[in-house]
Structure 1
Amino acid sequence: MAEKPMSPFGELAPSTPASLSDVKKNIYGRYLEEFNVGDIYVHPRQFTVDRSFAQEFATVFMDANPLYLSAEYAKAHGFADLLVHPLMVFNLALSIGVQNNSEKALANLGYYNAQFLLPVYPGDTLSSRTKILAVDDKGPDKPGIVHVRTLCLNQKNEVVLQYERKIMIYQSNGKPKGNPKPGDASAFFPESKTPALKLPNLKFPTEMKDVTWGHTYFENFKPGQIYVHQNGRTITDEHYQWTFRVGNTHPLHYDKLYSAGISGPMGGEPVVYGGLVFGWLAGMASRDISENAIWELGFTEGYHTQPAFSGDTVTCISRILTTEDKGTEYGIPAGEVQIQFIGLKNIKANDALDKFGADLFLKENDKKKLGKEKIPEKIFEIERRLIIKKQP
């Protein structure tokens, strides 16, 4: 251990004249012209997810699945410990990449092909890196679209999550640019078009059947069912703290001075970071849908169709699209269920279904060509796929 005597240091500012000749104004994020297809960005910062952080996420975001709450339940099912919630993993992976990928973004256009490939446990350290797949430059007067693939790695450099998203970004058009670390097309990036899911040897502990209720097993779900989740969640200014707790550095989500300078629907007040909205919606649905899920396989075609702000109350509806009996393919009796998941704001889910009916389940971007009006209360749409165990 290094040891050095310490002594008090004196005040210097009053006797040091201030010079304005060397002022630093660091700028973060990239404009459209700063992205190059094939570049790989190894994002700064890592997060070690300790047990209290993992359980706090699961409880704040209201998830009912005991895999994220009870170490004993998770171990009884064959996992090494309680699981870090997949949406916590997703939020960390996305947020760590904001400084490189989207701190200059006008909007996040969508999530695609998200696949959770390996359990994350308390004590694991997560990092992320991104590859630029495509850049659609529409000219200086219109925002372009950057298509990226992001990998989330654990401390063993194993891929725990792989996903894509599309980001709307303007050219700089004369605005000051920063000095971001250049991309490196040769950087380690273990992507796969056909990644493998790696789960432990799962178990089927019938003695723990009373830890969950009995209406969310695989057999309970049938294609065509619509679950109207009865509770809402009013989002408070807590979203400021949670934005930075998961590492998201975009000022749109926590800086009122920045937000006040933006015109249009995203301006005025800080916008709730969409990954948090997704987390609250999924948590509210969990008692009806995923309490007995054994794994979140992933999600795709996810869009934030309207922003949410502090004070908004979010609600949600799920529609069962397909069910597929997998026998014991995963080591225990289970099946896969694919779900269309709809998020709403400032309207009860019951009232939304009565008011909008089947139009709720049409993609908002398809409404114009169908001659339909967009639904202003609808804020989110995505498809999820879960592994759900059968009735013991």
Structure 2
Amino acid sequence: MKRSLRATDAALERGRAAKRWIDRAETEGMEKVAPEVPPDDMAAVMEKMFSSTWGGLTGKQMGDLLRLMISWAKQDKDGALAWARNLEVSQQREIALTGIAAGVGKTDPMAGFEIYSETGTVTTAAAGRALEAMMEEVYRLAAAKGAEALVDIARRSPVNETRTIHGVRLEYPEGFDFATLMDGLAKISRSNMIFDKAIVPPDPMGQWVLRDPDAAFDYVASRIANGGQLRLDSMVYEMGEKSGSLEARRWIAGKLASVPSDQIPAFVRGAGVLNSPGIFRQYLQEMPAEAADEFRLQSVKLYPGYAMELLLDIPSVDDRVALVERLRGVKDADQILAQLKKWEVPQERIDQVGKTIRQQDP
């Protein structure tokens, strides 16, 4: 009984102490008060604050909780971690671990990352700037070790369930193995190098293409030929920024023109060229006519709703129709024929084209 009473008294005293700290924070601000809270009182203060947030955290509440966890981690990292890991409410556990990671990461980024990775999933934008700074250094340290080390960090980073994706700055070391990095990142991306991670490394392709453009394009072509997807956007953007848009456009056009004709359908599907038909038309204008027409044909066959625009650069409507008529095995011919009608092609000619392009190759 005495032991039970002592435990009750101790619990009451912890509660009173927690209230005193919280009351002080209300008047003086948590930023000032948090460093003064001793480790022995931290758990009680955190529990009392968490108990009042079941309706969702305000920005102020989030900031106060993070300041407490950062302060606790500085004073007693092991104690703070033990408490955080035992939290049963997932968002509370996430916030607590994030605060500890942000605090530890200021002086030991890799140790901070190991704690951050324990969250598993990120549902809030807690400590965003501190985590970005930490992860920027973590990725830099990993890149210095090589592509596989960087992929490992990206793989173990928490899954992102917020609306915010944080990017970090990173200058890849000289001689970096971009191909191994791209292969590794492809395995953990949802598709086309789109990640569900909260903090991601910068797109390697942008830096690779400036250092070795031929190798970068050959890698893209190889990935696409094997059924993969890899958009050219970052490659084109970086080259345009560095060398001028016209020079970059001509270089990309020359590379696309070198793609074997039997690989063009895969390239149209996998390189994202039709995400911006207007830009793709600029590439086509810089290609030899035969190569440009082959890209137009395969694009129209695969995505008629978007790709008929590519034919507008052919001045003569008769020449456009003649090009379309080379198609065979078109399953969705209606959109193509509707566009011919907009170009005021006679209906009899449209019917003839429809019959022709629906035929299978002999």
> Does the alignment reach a TM-score above 0.5?
no
Per chain length, whose mean CA-contact separation is higher, i.e. which structure has more relative contact order (CA < 8 Å, sep 6+)?
A: 1
TM-score by length of 2: 0.21
Q: Which is richer in helix?
A: 2
TM-score by length of 1: 0.20
Structure with the greater alpha carbon radius of gyration: 2
